[in-house]
Amino acid sequence: MNLRTVAALTGLLVALVAVMMLAPLMLALYDGDNNAAFGYATAMAATTLVSVSLRRWGGPQSADIHRKDALGVVALTWLCLGIFGGLPFLVEGSISNVAAAVFEAVSGFTTTGATVVADVDALSRATNLWRCQMHWFGGMGIVVLFVAVFPQLGVGAKHLFRTEVPGPITEGLRPRIKQTALALWWIYAGLTVLATVMLIVAGLPIYDAILHAMSTLGTGGFSSRSASIGAYNNPAVEWIIALFMLVAGLNFGLYYGILRGRWRDFFRNYELRFYLLINVAIIGVVALSIMHLHPAPGDSLRHAAFQTLAVTTTTGFMTEDFERYPDAARYLLLLAMFMGGCAGSTAGGIKASRVYVLFKVALGELRSLVNPNVVRSVRLGSTTIPTSIAWGIVVFVTTYFLIFAVCSLALVAQGLDLITAMSAVVACLSSVGPGLADVGPTQNYGFVPGSGKLLLSFCMIAGRLEIFALLAVFSPECWRR
């Protein structure tokens, strides 16, 4: 790894964070909120200073960015995002604890939506904008944005892009990676605008509509209201948000296909079919199990659909406390947290395609016990999954569960109860946000000890970067020159 290259590029990425802080700063000035304005101006200045220092130390950026450099850039950038994203909270005073501020920022950028703030309504408008803005930029990825807007980085950009974009098979949409990144961002921005307009039409104030559209498309979960979407008590808003949560949980490459007139590919996509099937099944079970809470089938279906999509797309919004649901529904939702959304979406989790392939691999192994001489290929629709990719998926899922086991054990050791610890880890690893019991939809993560918050922040980044990109940085091999 060339540390100077890593520093130079990270410096540029950190500069992007400083630029992002302009929006909340302007809003704070507009609102006449001097405290918030001072918080964002100070954070911006500090971020800019670090960016300039990193650029200076890094020197002129060399043309070649190797795989190891890309890993270093992405890991260091995400570390910086946690620190500098949380700085405004500390300076403004909305969060007083360093670990809590880092947790909130990491939760924002990784689109987890887990919060340490008990009373969100009391936060300044600028801070709520910043929280949702973090979701939006983190959703499609700040490194992807960097690849899209900065001058041609060649193959190095490809390494950067792949390190951040989720999914076992990252398909290029356009020949040049810069154009692919740009196309993804355009689609993402277009959908966000569409969601905003629809929410305004449905009756949400403009500010709330913008915030929730950003949060939804990024599959984040931060809301400007403590009671989340339930606070509006508006079925139209709930259906619109549910729809856009689903939209954000699907592969963005498919939307590009639609724009190019390839409608058939959209409906023929196996991952999409599998994902929709699972969602429909869970929604059905949850809807039936909450009939005693909502006797009208329409209400039951709406709440079930909203809560299920909020979990399977790893957004984490809510319209009601699913802690009140029967155990079967809660357990189903907990299991759905592991899977998450589709590859190439803004959602987290193991991803539907991986679960599907894993299922097929397991089935194949079972069959080979009966017929050991028959050779079968693992197929995803008409595509054969090479053994190396199938093997990679098995290793990924195993590591995912290993991290889940180790981290939940560490939280239990810190005094959290079993259900809280396990659901908190999976909610952070899959970037869902709310878990069960003490970290349920109406609760927050404020009570978790500082070291626990940092551990969960690690889980969030590991989940967002699909584990190996982050774990690789801890390998001595990566640092060898």
174 binds other proteins (CB under 8 A): yes
Taking the C-alpha atoms of residue 78 and residue 75, their distance in angstroms, rounded to an integer, is 5
Judged by CB, which is closer to other proteins: 231, or 389?
Answer: 389
CB of 178 to other proteins, least distance (A): 8
Cα–Cα distance, 139 to 177 (Å, whole number):
18
Q: Which two tokens stand for residue 232?
A: 């509006």
Residue 178 or 302: which CB sits closer to other proteins?
178
Nearer to other proteins, 62 or 179 (CB): 179
> Who contacts 294 (Cβ-Cβ below 8 Å, separation ≥6)?
300, 303
- Planar angle of CA 435, 441, 446, nearest 5 degrees: 80
CB 104 within 8 A of CB 433: no
Q: Judged by CB under 8 A, which stretch of 103-111, 120-128, 172-180, 268-276 contacts other proteins?
A: 172-180
Identified binder of other proteins from the candidate list 131, 158, 303, 464, rule CB under 8 A: 158
HSE of 229, CA atoms in CB hemisphere, 13 A: 30
Binders of other proteins in range 369-428 (CB under 8 A): 386
The type of residue at 269 is N
Stretch that binds other proteins, among 48-56, 173-181, 191-199, 364-372 (CB under 8 A): 173-181
155 touches other proteins by CB under 8 A: yes
Q: Considering only residues 4, 97, 169, 172, which one is a binding residue for other proteins as defined by CB under 8 A?
A: 172
Are the CB atoms for 339 and 458 separated by under 8 Å? no
**Least CB distance to other proteins at residue 184 (A):** 14
Q: Taking the complex as a whole, how short is the minimal distance between the CB of residue 256 and other proteins, in angstroms?
A: 12
CB 343 within 8 A of CB 352: yes
The reply on whether position 203 binds other proteins by CB under 8 A is no
The two tokens of residue 55 are 């650029």
Q: Would you count residue 261 as binding other proteins (CB under 8 A)? A: no
Which of 42, 179, 226, 234 is in the footprint of other proteins by CB under 8 A? 179
* 154 belongs to the binding site for other proteins (CB under 8 A): yes
Instruction: Provide the 8-state DSSP code for 384.
Output: E
Residue among 335 and 395 whose Cβ is closer to other proteins:
395
Where in 60-89 is the site for other proteins (CB under 8 A)? 67
Dihedral of CA 89/92/93/94: which sign? Answer: negative
Residue 148 binds other proteins, judged by CB under 8 A:
no
- Radius of gyration of the chain, Cα coordinates, nearest whole angstrom: 22
Q: How far apart are CA 458 and CA 408, in angstroms?
A: 13
Instruction: Report the interface residues with other proteins, using CB under 8 A.
Output: 67, 154-155, 157-158, 172, 174-179, 386
